[in-house]
Structure 1
């Protein structure tokens, strides 16, 4: 579904030029907005493991990462749609009052992956599949962020820009007619803003995936809004 909105504001002004005669212009703003249904769910997934040694923590993390890869393969996520964003191995410490220093108690391995799932309507089922990999408190899978996007935004931006320019010219012609003048030429056109945005986002604290016995996950993707504004001046 696509929603189209156009808002135009116009005024008639005069500009001084380097020549003797001033340049008279009609100045208008054109705003166009399209809204489209997203066709991608973007997830940031953390796979982690804890152990007394760094090697033990890494082995636990690998076990859970294999389960994540199995879920990705089952839901046909393409290789290029799965990318490591961060990998870290950090010691966990406690403060020892006797020695007045930090003492290492173990290690935590974290592997953050960005995943794109292209069947938005089944995103909840995919998240449930990731949730099934959470087994114990030594390791697991966290969903850090969920957002929605559209992979053809450039096409929508182009058509939205064209609509904004078209509507701006139409308004300028209306103003010229009302003022009893004629438009001679386009003096200046500038794209003021183009602001495609993700419709909704789940963020903040990490969502620990321990929901294997809960009801199926439901997500509301909303719509992706692409907004373009232009400033136009026409010589009269």
Structure 2
């Protein structure tokens, strides 16, 4: 059997440990042991646990950041509703899978502060998807597909905030079941579009089938 490259084994082990014991308790020593390498070997590929965490999010979870980057680079592609629906779908899946990893940080205030300080040094953090979506919406605004007076930062915060809430808010309901991701994403996108799209581009109520 072909052995996976060390970097891949480290990412796989980090993902598994962060899911099972949480980010706060997944140490680089334990990750290296699970990957079958030394801790020194781990640091050949990743400068810190925070960088490893960011790479796990980018390479093992739904690819929200690459999607936002590609859309920002080429505004005007596809329809705005289709793009927002796909963003909402990827974001809902991303938060659903990342919440169990990061949740343990919120139980330890000092650890969370140190972790966020380290993330800021490498230009990352939970705010970055909001900033990326805001940048995409501003690019669409410049292209005339978002209303000139629309608050793009607020729109980005609303969309991603709803997707993040889906990751945990429905666990307390009687069924404990999250809304299915595809209709959830479509409804979010359509509702947001009603507030930010130019008036002449918004379909009249009843023109589209609802999920």
User: Do they superpose with TM above 0.5?
Assistant: no
* TM-score (norm: length of structure 1): 0.25
Higher helix proportion (structure 1 or 2): 2
* TM-score (norm: length of structure 2): 0.27
Whose RCO is larger (CA < 8 A, sep 6+)?
1
